[in-house]
Chains A and B, each alone.
Chain A
Amino acid sequence: MRLRWNVIIGSLTIIPGLLFGGVATGYLLGGLADKHLFVGAHHLVNVVLLLLVFVMVIATALTLAERKWSAMMQNRIGPNRARLPFLENSALSGVPHVITDVLKLLTKEAFIPKDASKLLFNLAPMLAFAPVFALFAIVPAGPTVNVFGFDIEMVAANPDFGLLYLFGIASLAVYGTSLAGWSSNNKFALLGGVRASSQMISYEVALGLGLVGMMIAFSTVQLGGPAGMSDLQSHYLPGWSTYLGPIDVGVPQWGFLLQPAGFILFFAAAFAETKRAPFDVPEGESEIIGYFVEYSGMQFGLFMIAEFVEVVVLSGVLIAIFFGGPYLPFGNLWLKSLFGPDWQWLYGSILGTVFWLKVVLLCYLQLAIRWTFPRFRYDQIQTLGWKILLPIGLANVFISGALILWDPSLKALAIAGGIEILVLVALTLTPTPAKSRADAHIGHHGPVDEHGHGADHALPAGHH
């Protein structure tokens, strides 16, 4: 069995290596900034590093990954024709295509259609891009550690109203798409914009309800800092931890374990907010082409990159709230004790790398979802938002609230969450009894033609 060892070794070393280097640079630069400028200057470093470097670079890489990974999932090769001048013999996994894409978008004419509202037309891409980008400001991408005598937070801003900021800013993004649709003076673009806003309305409720359980559980809406959701998840459930030699193990109070239903709700709703397949009705390639149909050049590029930035930001938010932030599921105390007081930035860098690796994994999950599931019809999206996610969200809030009231140590909540996960896993691993249904059918009615049988399976789930 021949394996591509260069790809395996490359992806196992280059990606974590680059991430580690970036995070370590962030901690050290932050420490230097605090030392030589003023206390709190490391937040400025974080703005540049986390938002402009990490999020933008990963989002840009995702434009290529979208095509390359989808090719891998569909047994194709993917883009490999663009070459660098001195490396004509190597496709470099398609990386030069990023350069060609950027060049193309930057050099194309930014065309404004006749009778379009010029101000709003130019404003819309910025309005679509900026809020998504700003969303990442509150996501902590690493633990708070002491560097050069200063406490360095790996977050651009840490307001105590963290999640409320998230909801507010996330809703702003739809102004860009609606304005783009309206100001283009194009019926199809307008239709796309209207669809985007109605989709946002039907998912905003589920988006909020999905997080309410976590807010109750941790009694906070803050993300970063020692009392924030991210750091609280590094703790074990009280009494459910022990030591294996020097390593601490236990059941961490990760949001995914406490609130699996909340996670699925928030994930589905936030996925719908990214306007990517299977929730891509605002684009609707087969029907209306989308709210950005009149945009060209880098203005279209802004809409496109905003979509990928949304993917990265959504991954970061999900990890900060549901997957333990930068922390490992066990051994965090042991890892911290490995490094002396002068080397705490190394501990922070390792956990920061863990955070970004989790982000890459969740980005993969989102891309895999986008390339696996058929898109929802418009009415199915509304049905899913209002008739399925909303009741589940309400029920989840009441059940979680009751369990937390009954047992404030969150153990009852964790047990309920564990049961939910186990049921889901059991249902996934046991085969769907489609065959027995067919057999029963034959027993009653004699031979059945395959076509009539398949038609039932092809019905979307919303119909059942």
Chain B
Amino acid sequence: MDHAHDHHDEASKPTDVRERLFLPELLHGLAISTRKFLRNLFGERDPNPQVVDRTGLSLVTTVQYPDEKPIYPPGYRGLHRLVPREDGKPRCVACYMCATICPAQCIYIEAGEYSDDDHATESRVIEKYPTQFVIDELRCVVCGLCVDACPKDAIRMDTYKHTPAEYTRQGFVYDIPRLLRGPPVTHPSDPWYKRGSSEEPDHVHKEAHTRIGEGLVPLKLPGGHRVEVDTSNPVAVTKFIK
């Protein structure tokens, strides 16, 4: 259809007398405003944080955030947590998978090794544990890849909270005491379940390294010249100040 013709035809039509008088339409508008005003002034407001489930006369859809918190949908990727075992220690075995896959490189892990003296405990079936597990929540892009990568179900984002505000940047760097929270998780496949009686750790393997800072890949910089990373000395992994 020809739009120009359409509009011309429409504009040449005589408008309704109500629209030309302007006043009846204005009164309609005032009636709408007043109806809403009276409903919201005299009607009780339902404080249900799920706004769509609210019943009541008031039409106010505001959720007063710090006082009323909306419920996040299932599967919401919230603040990370390190999943504890039944004994309160982290399930994490310091495999560096999450730190490796993290596109924002916001996870820093230092691994510790259980000594042979620990044979009496259940930890004898686990070789390693994190001595440092730090997430910089300011760098995190909340992609959830760390959760997918974890082979031990040791890191989750099921807190249904987003990162709270802090006064300093350092406050966004979360360490083990702040990350280790929430209900403990145990799976039937956990080694201390399956091999509870074993005297030896089931795997003896070399410590896996992240590729961060290994300098194996030559960096490409704009300008055409290539920078060869000096591999004679180990390059320090960026450490978060704790």
Interface contact B44-A3, CB-CB below 8 Å: yes
Is A340 at the interface (CB under 8 A from chain B)? no
B209 → A minimal CB distance (Å): 52
A1 to B32, CA, bound (A): 20
Interface contact B21-A76, CB-CB below 8 Å: no
Is B138 at the interface (CB under 8 A from chain A)? no
Number of interchain pairs (Cβ within 8 Å)? 105
B3 is contacted by which of A7, A73, A452 (Cβ under 8 Å)?
Answer: A452
- Chain B residues touching A, majority SS: helix
Of chain B, the residue at the smallest CB distance from A75 is B59
Chain A residues near B167: list those with CB within 8 A. Answer: none
Interface contact B36-A372, CB-CB below 8 Å: no
A424 to B22, CA, bound (A): 11
Is B37 at the interface (CB under 8 A from chain A)? yes
- Most chain-A Cβ atoms within 10 A of its Cβ — which of B26, B40, B56? B40
Is A239 at the interface (CB under 8 A from chain B)? no
- Most chain-A Cβ atoms within 10 A of its Cβ — which of B25, B27, B28, B30? B30
Chain B residues near A434: list those with CB within 8 A. Answer: 16
Is B11 at the interface (CB under 8 A from chain A)? yes
B45 → A minimal CB distance (Å): 8
A397 → B minimal CB distance (Å): 20
Interface contact B60-A464, CB-CB below 8 Å: no
Interface contact A75-B60, CB-CB below 8 Å: yes
A441 to B8, CA, bound (A): 13
B193 → A minimal CB distance (Å): 51
Interface contact B42-A8, CB-CB below 8 Å: yes
Given A264-B23, A424-B23, residue A368 in contact with residue B33 (CB < 8 A): yes
Complex interface bits, A52-72 against B, C-beta within 8 A gives 1, otherwise 0? 000000000000000001011
Chain A residues near B17: list those with CB within 8 A. Answer: 427
B12 → A minimal CB distance (Å): 11
Interface size of B by CB at 8 A reads 42
Interface contact B30-A372, CB-CB below 8 Å: yes
Complex interface bits, A3-20 against B, C-beta within 8 A gives 1, otherwise 0? 110011000000000000
A7 to B61, CA, bound (A): 19
Interface-located stretch among A183-191, A227-235, A443-451: A443-451
Is B15 at the interface (CB under 8 A from chain A)? yes
Is B225 at the interface (CB under 8 A from chain A)? no
B30 → A minimal CB distance (Å): 6
A73 is contacted by which of B19, B22, B33, B57 (Cβ under 8 Å)?
Answer: B33
Interface contact B30-A368, CB-CB below 8 Å: yes
Chain B residues near A4: list those with CB within 8 A. Answer: 41-44
Chain B residues near A8: list those with CB within 8 A. Answer: 42
A372 to B25, CA, bound (A): 11
Given A73-B36, A368-B33, A461-B19, residue A428 in contact with residue B24 (CB < 8 A): yes
B228 → A minimal CB distance (Å): 57
A228 to B22, CA, bound (A): 33
Is B169 at the interface (CB under 8 A from chain A)? no
Is A433 at the interface (CB under 8 A from chain B)? yes
A411 to B21, CA, bound (A): 26
Interface contact B15-A464, CB-CB below 8 Å: yes
Is A453 at the interface (CB under 8 A from chain B)? yes
Chain B residues near A74: list those with CB within 8 A. Answer: 36
Is A77 at the interface (CB under 8 A from chain B)? yes
Chain A residues near B117: list those with CB within 8 A. Answer: none
Of chain B, the residue at the smallest CB distance from A437 is B13
Is B64 at the interface (CB under 8 A from chain A)? yes
A369 to B13, CA, bound (A): 29
Is B1 at the interface (CB under 8 A from chain A)? yes
A76 to B19, CA, bound (A): 29
Interface contact B28-A2, CB-CB below 8 Å: no
Interface contact B37-A72, CB-CB below 8 Å: yes
B63 → A minimal CB distance (Å): 10
Interface contact B40-A373, CB-CB below 8 Å: no
Given A445-B1, A456-B10, residue A2 in contact with residue B30 (CB < 8 A): no
Chain A residues near B25: list those with CB within 8 A. Answer: 432, 461
Given A1-B57, A372-B32, A446-B1, residue A424 in contact with residue B24 (CB < 8 A): yes
Segment 340-374 of A: residues with Cβ below 8 Å from B: 365, 368-369, 371-373
- Most chain-A Cβ atoms within 10 A of its Cβ — which of B1, B19, B41? B41
A13 to B210, CA, bound (A): 73
Interface contact A373-B7, CB-CB below 8 Å: no
A2 is contacted by which of B11, B21, B41, B43 (Cβ under 8 Å)?
Answer: B43
Q: A71-B40, A75-B59, A75-B61 are in contact. List 17 more A-B contacts (CB 8 A).
A: A7-B42, A72-B40, A73-B33, A365-B30, A368-B33, A368-B37, A369-B26, A372-B26, A372-B30, A428-B27, A428-B28, A432-B16, A432-B19, A432-B24, A445-B9, A446-B1, A452-B6
Q: List 29 A-B contacts (CB under 8 A).
A: A1-B43, A3-B42, A3-B43, A4-B44, A8-B42, A72-B37, A75-B40, A75-B60, A75-B61, A76-B62, A264-B23, A368-B34, A369-B26, A372-B32, A373-B26, A373-B29, A424-B23, A424-B24, A427-B21, A427-B24, A428-B24, A432-B16, A432-B19, A433-B16, A437-B16, A441-B10, A448-B1, A456-B11, A461-B22
